[in-house]
Structure 1
Amino acid sequence: MNQLNGAMALLLLMSVSSTAWAVDCRVNGGEWARVTHLTVPVTVRLDADRVRILMEGARLECRFTAGAGPVWGADYWETGNASGTPWTSGPKFVSERSGLRINGSFLNTPVPAGIRVATMPNNGIGYPIDITPYILVRNSPSNPIDVRAGDTLGLLRLTSSNNYDATRPQLTVTYTAANNFTISPSTCTINNNNPIEINFGDVHQRAIGTDPLTSTIRRDRRLTYTCPDPGITTPITITYKGIASSFSPHLLTMTNPNVGTALVRGGVAVQVGSSFLSRITNSVGGDDVTFTLVRRAGTFPTPGATSGSGVLVMGVP
């Protein structure tokens, strides 16, 4: 009888994985945690000098990781890591120029990798990572940016090295918006950014018309457009922003529900939320517009004071 002798070989499967070295960090005085990634909510606001849109309010601290090295050891934090550049803007800001304020110095993108941010001795003390991302405001017309709370604003990347071994822990910080914020990222202005007050005065309720184009309660205004840099010539849009009245999309809502305010330009009532086309030539431009008070058809508004507010926003087609 033939016997089949078989041999079984033991196949040893081995896997090799790289270690993701973590760092000790916390945000806004919270609990310390060993992390490779953090998400921090920040406030988006226009700086007082109107040069930058800042993303600030998150107090990020890190420290030498306990038990990770000799008592004389120190960590050195620098910009950038293996995942990418020091800063990448989020979807709302991807077409805008950006930068990082690092320890008080403003550095526009591309921010170099390898900039020393902080040194952390082995003493258990937390040290601030003093970095604030920003967006540069343009000197030419551009469309408004509408940031909603929770939006991803961008990614900050950092690397930690030290004076005792070759490990290179990395940290990526995702910045998210803690607030709603709408702004035109441009220094071009309408009427030098001064409020446009429309005071219709004392009006008899029966005198208010029901059509924006024929109502006799009206106020004419001149809109002037300017950009700080010379030589800018471009078409622009002016958008009539606010809350439309319940009885007409062409009227801005007022505190009296039976009254609204229309913006008329070139014989056409501009619908609330829509825009009209204009132009800037050699950094200046302008339009003559009319604001009219309009009542709901078939009603006579209750006597008394009424008010409302809207915003005119410059953009590009």
Structure 2
Amino acid sequence: MNRLPGALVLLVLMSGAATVEAAQCRVNGGPWRQVDTGGTLTFQVPVTVRVGADTSRILLEGARLDCRFTPYGFPAWYTDHWSTSALAGAPWTPGPKFINQGTGLRINRGYYNTPVPFGIRIANMPNNAVGVPVDATPYILIRNNPTNPIDVRIGDVLGVLRLSQTNNYDSSRTGLSLTYTAANNFAISPSSCTINNNNPIEINFGNVPQRAIGTDPLTSSIVSNRRLTYSCPDAGITTPITITYKGTSSSFDSRLLMMTNPNVGTAMVRAGAAVPVNGSFLTRITNSVGGDDVTFSLVRRNNAIPTAGAISGSGVLVMGVP
């Protein structure tokens, strides 16, 4: 009996599924980093802390974020989107140095104060593997209040940016978390409160006989009395403040501001006491206004007679908080 040879054929059916690298980002031109669907990319980057051009905001600049969409064989209309989203969390969380400050994000030239709204579309990534800038810059609002000084040190954590990636072809998503740290030291009292409306205080003692200049700030007869006035543009500010006498002290008395004649200095006297150069006195603003009477006195080195001629010097009065 003839038998037909049998043959066993193993039929393996395979189907190919295209892989999408839909969440790739980099910071400041660094290497591209990818995250799987549902995951979160994490970055940390140092940024420069500086006052913006309009002087109403402190900007945290220097983090250039790019993202791209790199598909394999998908239609041209497939697109990824990066946005603020509740799925990623608060778009911007300020660091501990800014807890008492107003903050926000500048997104594509628009300013959004904290809490930054969800659903702001920042950038679209077509499926061409080309990096697209994701333009979001944190900022700190400068308030008209001297009680909110800012003192940033290199390495301080400034805050965290959180964004979400979605697309127009399925329900998958990824996230991004970018932690900002300080690349520079930065200190400012974010206030537009002023001393004497920011006008210069000119002290002209006139023509003075050298021997008439006293040797003690409290008893010298060569004096000029001035009224210091304090004001804040926002109403309702009541707080203790300090007024600091900033400058270079004379070589013979730290209470005196250095003048062009090394044997002469100028003191600022308040309430019967000389305020040391780079020292301060405590005073107060009540309902956004305040003031003090001070006396500037010309003082000479003990046992020295200054040479004749014009003398000058300069210092700065700075408002701060205790």
SS at match of 1:36: strand
- TM-score of the pair, normalised by structure 1: 0.75
Equivalent positions of 1:1-317 (< 5 A) are 23-27=24-28, 30-34=29-33, 36-45=42-51, 47-48=53-54, 50=55, 52-58=56-62, 60-66=64-70, 70=74, 72=76, 73-79=78-84, 84-164=89-169, 166-178=172-184, 180-200=185-205, 206-254=211-259, 259-299=264-304, 305-315=311-321, 317=322
How far apart, in 1, do the equivalents of 2:136 and 2:224 lie? 49
* CA distance 1:223–1:167, change in 2 (3 Å): same
Paired residues, what number? 291
Contact 1:97 1:109 in 2 (8 A): yes
Cα 1:292/1:219, change in 2 over 3 Å: same
Q: Distance in 2 between matches of 1:120 and 1:130?
A: 13
Q: Is the 8 A contact 1:45 1:181 kept in 2?
A: no
- In the TM superposition, what is the alpha-carbon distance from 1:59 to its structure 2 partner? 5.6
**1:16 maps to which residue?**
none
Label 1:80 to 1:118 Cα distance change in 2 as closer, same or farther (>3 A): same
Does the aligned pair in 2 maintain the 1:81–1:158 contact within 8 Å?
no
Q: Is the 8 A contact 1:146 1:183 kept in 2?
A: yes
Shift of 1:68: 7.6
Provide the aligned C-alpha RMSD in A: 3.4
Q: 1:160 to 1:90 in 2, by over 3 A?
A: same
Letter in 1 for 2:297: T
| Paired amino acid for 2:228 | L
3-state SS of 1:64 partner: strand
CA contact (8 A) 2:227 2:293 kept: yes
Cα separation, partners in 2 of 1:241 and 1:33, compared to 1, 3 Å: farther
What TM-score comes out, normalization by structure 2 length? 0.74
Q: Quickly say closer, same or farther: Cα 1:22–1:242, change in 2 above 3 A.
A: farther
Q: What SS is found at the alignment partner of 2:174?
A: coil
Are residues 258 and 113 of structure 1, via their aligned partners in 2, closer, same or farther at CA, if it must alter by over 3 Å? farther
Task: Decide which structure has the larger Cα Rg and report it.
Answer: 2
CA distance in 1, matches of 2:207, 2:73: 78
CA distance in 2, matches of 1:200, 1:149: 45
CA 231–144 in structure 1, closer or farther in 2 if over 3 Å, else same:
closer
Residue segments in structure 2 that go unaligned for 5+ positions in a row: 1-21, 34-40
Q: 1:80–1:113: 8 Å Cα contact kept in structure 2?
A: yes
Q: Deviations over 1:36-57 (max 9, x none)?
A: 3031322411553x5x332154
Q: Residues 219, 226 of structure 1: CA spacing in aligned structure 2 closer, same or farther, 3 A cutoff?
A: same
CA separation in 2, counterparts of 1:95 and 1:223? 29
Q: Distance in 2 between matches of 1:253 and 1:81?
A: 59
CA offsets 1:30-81 (integer angstroms, 9 cap, x no match): 4444263031322411553x5x332154261313154588463422112368
Provide the rounded CA distance (Å) in 1 between the counterparts of 2:230 and 2:95. Answer: 30
Cα deviation code 1:123-143 (max 9, x no counterpart): 343333322322223344415
Deviations 1:88-126 (A, max 9, x none): 223332221212222222222122344322222223433
- State the SS of the aligned residue for 2:100: coil
